[in-house]
Amino acid sequence: MGATALTVLFALTQLIGSAPFWVSAVTLNSVYLCATALVLLRAARVRAYRVVWALIGAGLCCYTAGTAYTWTVQWRGEVLPYPSLADSAWLSFYPLAYCGILGFFGRRRPSRRLVLDGAIAGLGGAALFSVLVVDVLLGNDAGEGFTRLVTLCYPLGDSLLLGTLVGQVTAGEAAARRNPMLMAGLGTFVVADTAYVVLSAKGLYHSGDGVNVLYLAGLTLIGLAAWYHRDKTATVRARPARMGVPISLAIGALVLLTVATRVHLSSVTVALAGATLVLVVARVVVALRELESIGQERHSEARRDPLTGLANRRAVHEHIDALLDRVRRPPIAMLLLDLDRFKEVNDSYGHPAGDLLLQLVTRRLQQVTRQSDLLGRLGGDEFVLVMAGENLTVSEANRLAGRIRAELTKPFPIDGVQITIDVSIGIAHDGGQDADSLFQHADIAMYNAKRAGGGHVVYQRDDDQESRRRLELTTALRRDVSTEAMVLHYQPKLDLRTGSIRGFEALVRWQHPELGLLSPDQFLPIAEQTGLMSALTCNVMTKAVRQCARWHAEGSPVSVAVNASATDLRHENFPQHISELLDRHSLPAGALTVEITETMMLSDWATTDRVLDRLTSMGVAVSIDDYGTHHSTLSYLRRLHTARELKLDRSFIADMLTAPRSAAIVRSTIDLAHDLGITVVAEGVEDAATLDALREWGCDQAQGYHIGRPAPATSAASLSQPAR
């Protein structure tokens, strides 16, 4: 505020005209010192754009020194020559301030585009000022030689500074756009310098006259601009087109050069216009290169997986096509990878954990593959690796698949938990096929690897027949999944305390019109992969409830157990469907047991828990099937408080009489379940000795071929006598 007050005071002294010489001198120099101090203090105390304001402050120091020198000469009563040492000090302000203004382009190194925009704006503005000042106002009064050069440096230097700042504003530089006071200060300087040059050239300028008011106003605005602040969150108008200023100035430069052919313009004006035009051409070249670079980036992004940065399916296709288009086609091998149990991780820990796992898998794959190999992600949990080389063999592809499996089966740290997965790899080795054939063959091999329980499998030509058979089965299953072609066989469950049949487990079979009766292992994997499990469960549940209601009506109050899928347990309306089914057939809820496996409890636990709670509140029993065959069994047993039944897997029952560890597991599990109030069912009982041992150990129920094989409902009903 002090600089503003002094500026007003100086203006008043000029208007009154009666103030002593020393009052004007002190007032003017005090304003210069205040403005310079404001800028230097800003540079010292505020880190943001410190170099910018330090350079501008250094320029103001030079300007202040020149002014002080002028007043000192006049104080002595001497005549100040033109040009003088004061002019050299004043002109030093421009290069320092120009370098400072360039700093508004950003704290990092400015791009060529921004530097060119600033230079075009500065030179273009200087060309226009040259026409106004040199050719119109000064004419032949500008002097000759060095005097003429000094005279022109003032308005041209100001216009260069102001034009560069305007160029930043039009380019959208936030620092420049938020400081209109700096632009106003430089604009005032342009007017003051223009007046100074014209008046000096015509011999009309006197130190301390009204022109100095303009200088003081400009300096005051620059000093205040150092501390000017606008809220960063304030709304900013839409940025003009980046090429608008260069195009406008290019047109202006062309006009000036055209005029120069008919009207005499100074060489300075012509040189500035020509330089502006050259920079505009350079700016257009930079813009074209930027557009080309953007196009290349977008082309690259369109061929990259956004999560892992690997090649996507499109890029893999193009890579294979490029390999096959070579004059000498190299042998090509494709490894198609599908992560096993990835869905369980996604459902149990959430999609962010699944995304992190995919990124960690990517890093490990990059560590074991060659730089010449193309690694890509096809989507979901599928990856692909394309190998090529003159001496590439199936054995080399097999060795790489083995290294990949060894690396990916190591635990992954996810959210503080060690996650273990596996991978199924299909290998296709073809030298002259197209990309689609490679994908098809690798997919067939990968499916065979999954069906085998994991590992890696090489495609064989005979696999095509198996693939066609699988496709035909998939089509037929879609047709029959909700029809009477799906038939139920019932395996009895023996009560070891009473020796009577307490219930049956409903097991589905497929009566294929051509292949005959198919067992579950032949079509259930297809149903899971094609999303048909919900429709199949609905059909099986309907048939089982209807048959159980028929047995009840005939005087046999047995229960029936039906296997549910993980998809069913994620549907909130699953209990409602069962309730409506029980009401329709007048079957009590206690006559129905829903069997789930431990792995199903990994899938969306929150929803699964709600669904199971609703089932048990209805009176439907929940049974844990295949108990003991998966990890974290005790953890899920603790969480699943709704379970009423636990089925010991046949792998423990088969050798419990010959393997002490299996026997210990069976006995301890029976005791544990009883302590929790849970009924124990032993699966896979094949002989009387095993049945007797289970009865002795306190097992509640048993199921197996020794008790009864799965059979149609008519045959199962006759199994009313206990097995001995």
Return the structure tokens found at 425. 């790899």
Omega within 30 of 0 (cis) for the link into 492: no
Asked whether residue 276 carries a pLDDT value surpassing 80, the answer given is no
Class for domain 313-461, per CATH? alpha beta
**Of the given ranges (95-104, 152-161, 217-226, 558-567), which has the lowest mean pLDDT?**
152-161
Picking from 86, 71, 63, 97, the residue whose alpha carbon sits closest to that of residue 215 is 63
* Tokens 């089509």 sit on residue: 475
Q: What is the rounded average pLDDT of the residues 211-215?
A: 76
Asked whether residue 234 carries a pLDDT value surpassing 60, the answer given is no
Q: Considering only residues 34 and 504, tell me which one the structure prediction assigns the higher pLDDT.
A: 504
Strands of 439-554 (E only): list them. 455-458, 486-495, 501-512, 516-518
Of the pLDDT bands very low, low, confident and very high (cuts 50, 70, 90), residue 6 is very low
* 501-533 as b/e: b if 16+ CB within 10 A: bbbbbbbbbbebeeeeebeeeebbebbeeeebb
Return the structure tokens found at 266. 């100074």
Handedness of CA 662, 665, 670, 673 (dihedral sign): negative
Integer Rg of the chain from CA: 44
Main-chain dihedrals φ then ψ at residue 508, nearest 5 degrees? -85, 145
155 close to 193: Cβ distance less than 8 angstroms: yes
Report d(CA 666, CA 696) in Å as an integer.
12
Superfamily of domain 473-716: EAL domain (3.20.20.450)
Report d(CA 435, CA 244) in Å as an integer.
47
Of the pLDDT bands very low, low, confident and very high (cuts 50, 70, 90), residue 17 is very low
Q: Which residues contact residue 674 at a Cβ distance below 8 angstroms, ignoring those fewer than 6 apart?
A: 680, 698
Q: Which residues contact residue 714 at a Cβ distance below 8 angstroms, ignoring those fewer than 6 apart?
A: none
**Bridge partners of 430?**
332
Neighbours of 701 (CB within 10 A): 23
Q: What is the rounded average pLDDT of the residues 269-277?
A: 76
Give me the amino acid identity at 266: S
* Tokens 């067939």 sit on residue: 444
Angle at which helix 145-171 crosses helix 112-129, to 10 degrees, equals 130
Report d(CA 246, CA 343) in Å as an integer.
56
In the three-class reduction of DSSP (H, G, I as helix; E, B as strand; rest coil), residue 464 is classed as helix
Handedness of CA 142, 148, 150, 155 (dihedral sign): positive
**Of the given ranges (435-444, 489-498, 639-648), which has the lowest mean pLDDT?**
639-648
For 539-555, give the secondary structure using H, E and C.
Answer: HHHHHHHHHHHHHHHCC
Q: Which residues contact residue 129 at a Cβ distance below 8 angstroms, ignoring those fewer than 6 apart?
A: 155, 156, 158, 159, 190, 194
Of the pLDDT bands very low, low, confident and very high (cuts 50, 70, 90), residue 46 is confident
Neighbours of 312 (CB within 10 A): 19
* 159-190 as b/e: b if 16+ CB within 10 A: bbbbbbbbbbbbbebebbbbbebbbbbbbbbb
Neighbours of 406 (CB within 10 A): 10
Q: Considering only residues 299 and 241, tell me which one the structure prediction assigns the higher pLDDT.
A: 299
pLDDT number for residue 243: 55
Asked whether residue 255 carries a pLDDT value surpassing 90, the answer given is no
Report d(CA 149, CA 145) in Å as an integer.
6
Helical H runs in 566-618? 566-569, 574-584, 605-618
375 close to 385: Cβ distance less than 8 angstroms: yes
569 close to 611: Cβ distance less than 8 angstroms: yes
300 close to 381: Cβ distance less than 8 angstroms: no
pLDDT number for residue 589: 93
Extents of the domains making up the chain: 2-230+241-288, 313-461, 473-716
pLDDT number for residue 721: 41
Of the pLDDT bands very low, low, confident and very high (cuts 50, 70, 90), residue 719 is low
Asked whether residue 18 carries a pLDDT value surpassing 50, the answer given is no
CA distances from 553 to 29, 356, 647 (A): 114, 56, 28
Picking from 628, 624, 552, 631, the residue whose alpha carbon sits closest to that of residue 587 is 552
| Average pLDDT of every residue of the chain | 79
CA distances from 547 to 39, 152, 240, 558, 565 (A): 93, 106, 76, 11, 21
Neighbours of 723 (CB within 10 A): 16
Q: How far is CA 351 from the centre of its chain?
A: 13
pLDDT number for residue 239: 46
Q: Which residues contact residue 171 at a Cβ distance below 8 angstroms, ignoring those fewer than 6 apart?
A: 113, 114, 117, 118, 239, 242, 245
**Of the given ranges (62-71, 530-539, 607-616, 633-642), which has the lowest mean pLDDT?**
633-642
pLDDT number for residue 723: 42
Return the structure tokens found at 308. 């892992």
Of the pLDDT bands very low, low, confident and very high (cuts 50, 70, 90), residue 270 is confident
DSSP structural state of residue 228:
-
Give the CA angle between residues 68, 70, 74 to the nearest 5°: 115
Q: What is the rounded average pLDDT of the residues 463-480?
A: 78
- Burial class of residue 558 (count of CB atoms within 10 Å of its CB; 0-12, 13-18, 19+): buried
Biggest alpha carbon–alpha carbon distance for the chain: 137
The pLDDT tens digits for 111-146 are: 666 667 667 766 776 677 667 666 666 655 555 567
pLDDT number for residue 431: 52
Q: What is the rounded average pLDDT of the residues 234-248?
A: 51
**Bridge partners of 701?**
495, 681
The pLDDT tens digits for 665-694 are: 999 999 999 998 999 999 999 999 999 999
pLDDT number for residue 238: 42
pTM of this prediction exceeds 0.85: no
pLDDT number for residue 15: 43
In the three-class reduction of DSSP (H, G, I as helix; E, B as strand; rest coil), residue 489 is classed as strand
Return the structure tokens found at 210. 């009204």
Return the structure tokens found at 197. 């040059």
Counting residues of the chain whose pLDDT is more than 70, the rounded percentage is: 74
10 close to 29: Cβ distance less than 8 angstroms: no
Q: Which residues contact residue 124 at a Cβ distance below 8 angstroms, ignoring those fewer than 6 apart?
A: 163, 249, 252, 253, 276
pLDDT number for residue 720: 47
Helical H runs in 596-723? 605-618, 633-639, 650-653, 660-675, 688-696, 713-716
pLDDT number for residue 205: 62
CA distances from 503 to 510, 550, 557, 716 (A): 23, 13, 8, 10
Asked whether residue 552 carries a pLDDT value surpassing 80, the answer given is yes
